[in-house]
Structure 1
Amino acid sequence: MYRQLWLLGLMWMLTGIAQIQAQTPGASREGSRVKILYSDKSVYETRGETTINRLKGKVELKQDSVYMYCDSAIVENETQVYAYGNVVIQQGDSLKIFADEAQYDGESKIANLLGRVILINGNRKLYTRRLDYRTDTRVAYYTNNATMVSDSLSLKSKVGYYYVATKQAQFRENVTAVGPRFSLKADSLNYNTESKVVDFLGPTVISNDSSKVYCEDGFYDTFNNRAEFSGNAQYVKKDQQAEADTITYDDNLKIYSLRGNARVEDSTRLAIGNLIRYDELQDTTFLQGNARYREKEQDINSEVISYNRKKGTFKTLGRTYVSDPPNLMEADQMGFDDATGLGVATGNVMWRDTAADLSINAMRADYGKKNGYLKASGGSKGRPELITIVEGDSLFLSADTLLAVKADSLPGKGKDSLSLGKNDSLAVVQKDTMQSDTSRILHAFHNARIYKKDFQAVCDSMVYSTRDSLFTLYGNPIVWSDTSQFTADTIYLTLKNKKLDKIIMRSNSFIVVISDGTYFNQIKARNVVSHFVESNLKRMDAFGNAEVIYYAKDDSGAYVGVNKTECSEMVIRFGAQNAVEKITFITDPKSVLSPMGTTNHRTLRLKGFRWEVDSRPCKREDIFVVLSPQSRIAPANRIKINSDEEKQ
């Protein structure tokens, strides 16, 4: 009986102890328990409810998948570990943390590591003097400076986090990074140690031997050498500066792309656009969207600009504006090649030489930069048009083709001699002297037509020198000034102070001056020089087989007869409204004066007479009307006279 009671009491006591143990916090949290796997020495003691296990020599501990190794350790309540000497924490096959000391809380799963701390995860190493590591989330963090080395990249920061599971690292405060091709300073960044991608989270400066980049957002793929910089992105390389909303760079392809408010500038070049793409290997620049490219004095504006500096070529799309002083040009698109020295502009071309005060409108213009060459054809009205200022008024010229070159680019110098007559002071006309200046030589061919309010002209071909203000007309030329018409094999128009000064006619010269809208005064000679004052005809010098028909008037202005005279040379002076005031005949003149009433004025014509009223451009639009040479020769029966002449 006594023995049975003793057994019952013992069972009750054991049950109570079990209940007490079940209520003990350390005993109830089996997941928090740190197991002791091995140690050379072990001393176990209790202090109230606290149990202490002192371990020395080759200590091995374990909690879940986490192993800890050290020279010595103190384990309290099987949950708190204080490890000393050659501490190693290992979790899984890829993570090891080395330290001089460590404190591990089995309940919070947090390890505080001190001393010479090294975290190794694959080929990634983290060095610091203090590191906190959570074994449950597998996150390491520090707050007092650390260095991570991943392959050839080294990153430092004051504060940082490393996520073992995702291989992500976060660096905060005073961040620096050094790689084989760059160095970096930043406020904050993320780094994926697997993909080798750096994400910028604040102000960042990236440098290499020759350049710097600033940004506040973006990424850098250190493995593929690709980067995107945004947030006030800026780039500096030697004297080159760039900025854009976003800058991307591919080091393998050597291509830079700038998007949004993009701008690149150096000592000689400026590029602006919504998009700028630069190919370093090909030395090509592509600009799109409000694009502008300036190099030295040349300034190009267009919707799209493609420029190859290596080959010296550029192309544009969209309305293009080019300033290359003293030349300005607009067109729907342009292209230029340095190798040939030639370019092409097409679509509503407008060209201007500000130094020579010339403008040309055309549909297409072929041009050369070195010699100022410009060949224009086509136009909104079918032909190109030249505009210049003479006597403060616009002169308009059109032809099938207009060709302009710099005067100093043409071979030859000197003077062009016109043997108009013996002892003639005007026998020599100064040819363009070809000095190095901004002068232009303009060629117009074929069917050239000129309109100005006070004189007009048509011919097959024409040459104009801005330096000498000299027009040379070839191929059935006709010039009109007020009531006068001038024809010859070749006609020269000279300007003085931007005003008509002389009309010089060579071979088969013929002048018709209509009087009172009725009668035709006529001068014919081999060569004729007409002198103008304030653009009004004042004198004519006729040389070689000169003939004249003029209507003489008395002092009251009434007609007294028709004079027909032949001599070798003569000088004719004109008054108001081109009226003949005086004729001086030289060397054996032969004259006949016929009364007005007995003269058939309709048939009174010198041989070669032509009155080309239908060919005369009467307004600006008429220079675009092309007439055949045959249609320009008006037959005698088409000459219009008034009723008074018919009666006489």
Structure 2
Amino acid sequence: MRTLFLISSILFSSLLFAQQARDMIIVNGDSLVGKTINGESIREVHGNVVLTQGNVRITCSKAIQYIARNEAELIGKVVVKQDSVIINTDIGYYYGNTKVAFSKSGISLYDGHVNLSSKNGYYYFDEKKAFFYDKVKLFDEITTMLAERLTYYNDENKAVAAGNVEVKDTSSVMYADSLIHYRDNKTSFAYNNVVIYDPQSRLAIFSNRLESYKQKDYSKIYDDPVLVKIDTTDNGQLDTLVISARLMESYDDSTKRVVATDSVRIARRDFSSINDITIFYRNSEFLFTYKTEISSSSPVMWNENAQLVGDTISAFLKDNKLKQLIINSNASIISSNEKYGFKYDQISGRKIDMYFDESGGLEKTEVNGNVLSIYFLFEDNEPNGLMKSSSERAVILFKDNSVEEVKFYGNAASEYHPENLIEGKEKDFTIPSFMIFNNRPTKELILGKRINKIFSQLNKLQHYGR
């Protein structure tokens, strides 16, 4: 038994020695100088230096090998290779026992797919993992990623970036505190202070979470998302369209649309809205909102002093100006009078079309189907009763944003109510669908405490790509 134990011990020791021998760094070069410093044996190898350990091969101009530690300092034109991975640096260090390479003198990595570089970095050969930090840059086909820190998993084609992350491609740029990116299926997950900017349409989306599925041309944006489209007025001032919702979905296919869902609020200089779902087409400047099957309320939109309600509302813009509004099904417009409290001009029908002139002022309104209207009359700016009318169709013409002419067609009927009979009884004269909504959103209400930060970022973003 004792003999068997001794044989086993000898065999184990031999195997361990063989394993250690295989794992020791082997260094060759043009010249070699052996030294002992502070009791430690070292070798300085000069000229055409080659270090090998298993499938790891390193070349450099000079190497200092620490034999007992199984480590080596690498100096001058350092190239490290393992399979398809190639690492370049000027000065580096290799830890043989853990198979880790390190450099703080500028380092780059190429694996046949991505180029990765930074000021400092580690590469773990057994795990096939890189950890780079300080001014990290990753280039993948048409995408460039910048970050303070990045871990790249070679076998998984996965990158985990953190700290001032920036991702740029040919059509957009994205910023985030951190990001996980899978190269194979072009899927990314971004976290905290997320900003996506499309310079062509001058559109930015701010949120705290983003899921991007590039192969499907689809992105999901949530956790307090806000869309801001940068526009410029005729006098050169910055104007913006602001949309907030619980969820935003961006489709980067031929439609180029963003779908905002749940608790949607919209604000712009010339109109605003609250609704449950809005579809915004980025390139055509077309905005569409509608009443969903599960919704109990219709979309509401405000233009100047008018409140618009309908099951669907479409807004068409051209050259950053409102050109047309279409209200379909259960459509109504209620216009307030700043001087006289409850004297609301009202009109309803199946469909309402509103047309705007080149300056954005209301030019014409057409109402079709079961038209009902109540208009308060004034003479020399003093109240002069109201006109209550019904018809199948109505056309209202405007001049300088004031009613110039009203025409009724098809079974038209009108009745005049003098001022002395309606004074104090204005609430008795309303259309059946009359309802005033007091929750008109503004940019300030939508953006809240983030307003200064967002507009500061917008000022920088609008110069991006120029």
Mark yes or no: TM-score above 0.5.
yes
Q: Quote how far apart the aligned CAs of 1:297 are.
A: 2.5
Q: Quote how far apart the aligned CAs of 1:247 are.
A: 3.8
Give the secondary-structure state (helix, strand or coil) at the position aligned to 1:350: strand
Give the secondary-structure state (helix, strand or coil) at the position aligned to 2:242: strand
Q: Residues 296 and 256 of structure 1: is their aligned pair in 2 closer, same or farther, counting only changes over 3 Å?
A: farther
What letter matches 2:190 in structure 1?
A
CA distance in 2, matches of 1:528, 1:269: 55
Give the secondary-structure state (helix, strand or coil) at the position aligned to 1:617: coil
Q: Which residue of 1 aligns with 2:431?
A: 606
Give the secondary-structure state (helix, strand or coil) at the position aligned to 1:615: coil
CA distance in 2, matches of 1:619, 1:288: 39
| Mapping for residues 452-531 of structure 1, pairs under 5 Å | 452-475=268-291, 476-518=298-340, 519-531=343-355
CA distance in 1, matches of 2:352, 2:443: 27
Q: Which residue of 2 aligns with 1:324?
A: 169
Q: Which residue of 1 aligns with 2:12?
A: none
Per-residue CA deviation, residues 232-291 of structure 1 (Å, 9 max, x unaligned), is 4522769956114314265x97x5523203321558643223432335566533223433
Q: Which residue of 2 aligns with 1:400?
A: 246
Q: Which residue of 1 aligns with 2:155?
A: 310
User: Relative contact order (alpha carbons < 8 A, sep ≥ 6): 1 or 2 greater?
Assistant: 2
CA distance in 2, matches of 1:537, 1:391: 20
Name which of 92, 100, 103 aligns with 1:246. 92
CA distance in 2, matches of 1:492, 1:301: 40
Q: Quote how far apart the aligned CAs of 1:558 are.
A: 5.0
RMSD: 3.3
Name which of 416, 419, 423 aligns with 1:596. 419
Name which of 349, 360, 363 aligns with 1:535. 360
What letter matches 1:404 in structure 2?
S
Give the secondary-structure state (helix, strand or coil) at the position aligned to 1:602: helix
Kept in 1, the 8 Å contact 2:122–2:132? The answer is: yes
CA distance in 1, matches of 2:231, 2:429: 36
CA distance in 2, matches of 1:309, 1:236: 15
Give the secondary-structure state (helix, strand or coil) at the position aligned to 1:588: coil
Give the secondary-structure state (helix, strand or coil) at the position aligned to 1:332: strand
Kept in 1, the 8 Å contact 2:29–2:47? The answer is: no
What letter matches 1:595 in structure 2?
P
The percent of aligned pairs where both chains have the same amino acid is: 19
Q: Which moved more, 1:288-297 or 1:267-276?
A: 267-276
Name which of 369, 373, 387 aligns with 2:218. 373
CA distance in 2, matches of 1:619, 1:570: 34
CA distance in 1, matches of 2:145, 2:447: 32
Q: Which residue of 2 aligns with 1:450?
A: 266
What letter matches 1:403 in structure 2?
E
| Mapping for residues 232-381 of structure 1, pairs under 5 Å | 232-235=76-79, 242-248=88-94, 250=96, 255=99, 257-264=101-108, 266=110, 269-279=114-124, 283-338=128-183, 341-378=186-223
Kept in 2, the 8 Å contact 1:244–1:260? The answer is: no
Per-residue CA deviation, residues 473-514 of structure 1 (Å, 9 max, x unaligned), is 123211111111111111111111222111111111011122
Give the secondary-structure state (helix, strand or coil) at the position aligned to 2:445: helix
CA distance in 2, matches of 1:181, 1:203: 15
Kept in 2, the 8 Å contact 1:450–1:623? The answer is: no
CA distance in 1, matches of 2:443, 2:339: 20
Kept in 2, the 8 Å contact 1:567–1:589? The answer is: yes
CA distance in 2, matches of 1:486, 1:242: 64
Q: Which residue of 2 aligns with 1:411?
A: none
Per-residue CA deviation, residues 334-385 of structure 1 (Å, 9 max, x unaligned), is 112356653321122222222332212112112222234222222xxxx221
Q: Residues 535 and 517 of structure 1: is their aligned pair in 2 closer, same or farther, counting only changes over 3 Å?
A: farther
Q: Residues 566 and 259 of structure 1: is their aligned pair in 2 closer, same or farther, counting only changes over 3 Å?
A: same
Give me the TM-score of the superposition, normalised by structure 2. 0.76
Q: Quote how far apart the aligned CAs of 1:538 are.
A: 1.5
Give the secondary-structure state (helix, strand or coil) at the position aligned to 2:434: coil
Give me the TM-score of the superposition, normalised by structure 1. 0.56
Give the secondary-structure state (helix, strand or coil) at the position aligned to 1:370: helix
Q: Residues 461 and 345 of structure 1: is their aligned pair in 2 closer, same or farther, counting only changes over 3 Å?
A: same
Q: Residues 493 and 517 of structure 1: is their aligned pair in 2 closer, same or farther, counting only changes over 3 Å?
A: farther
Give the secondary-structure state (helix, strand or coil) at the position aligned to 1:609: coil
Kept in 1, the 8 Å contact 2:27–2:49? The answer is: no
Q: Residues 189 and 537 of structure 1: is their aligned pair in 2 closer, same or farther, counting only changes over 3 Å?
A: farther
Q: Quote how far apart the aligned CAs of 1:447 are.
A: 0.4
Q: Residues 468 and 338 of structure 1: is their aligned pair in 2 closer, same or farther, counting only changes over 3 Å?
A: same
Q: Quote how far apart the aligned CAs of 1:395 are.
A: 1.4
CA distance in 1, matches of 2:382, 2:323: 31
Q: Which residue of 1 aligns with 2:440?
A: 616
Q: Which residue of 2 aligns with 1:644?
A: none
Kept in 1, the 8 Å contact 2:266–2:273? The answer is: yes
Q: Which has the larger radius of gyration?
A: 1
Give the secondary-structure state (helix, strand or coil) at the position aligned to 1:515: coil
Kept in 2, the 8 Å contact 1:401–1:446? The answer is: yes
Kept in 2, the 8 Å contact 1:261–1:272? The answer is: no
CA distance in 2, matches of 1:269, 1:499: 44
Q: Residues 359 and 290 of structure 1: is their aligned pair in 2 closer, same or farther, counting only changes over 3 Å?
A: same
Gaps of 5+ in 1: 1-151, 153-179, 409-433, 435-439, 626-648
Give the secondary-structure state (helix, strand or coil) at the position aligned to 1:535: coil
Q: Quote how far apart the aligned CAs of 1:206 are.
A: 3.2
Kept in 2, the 8 Å contact 1:397–1:623? The answer is: no
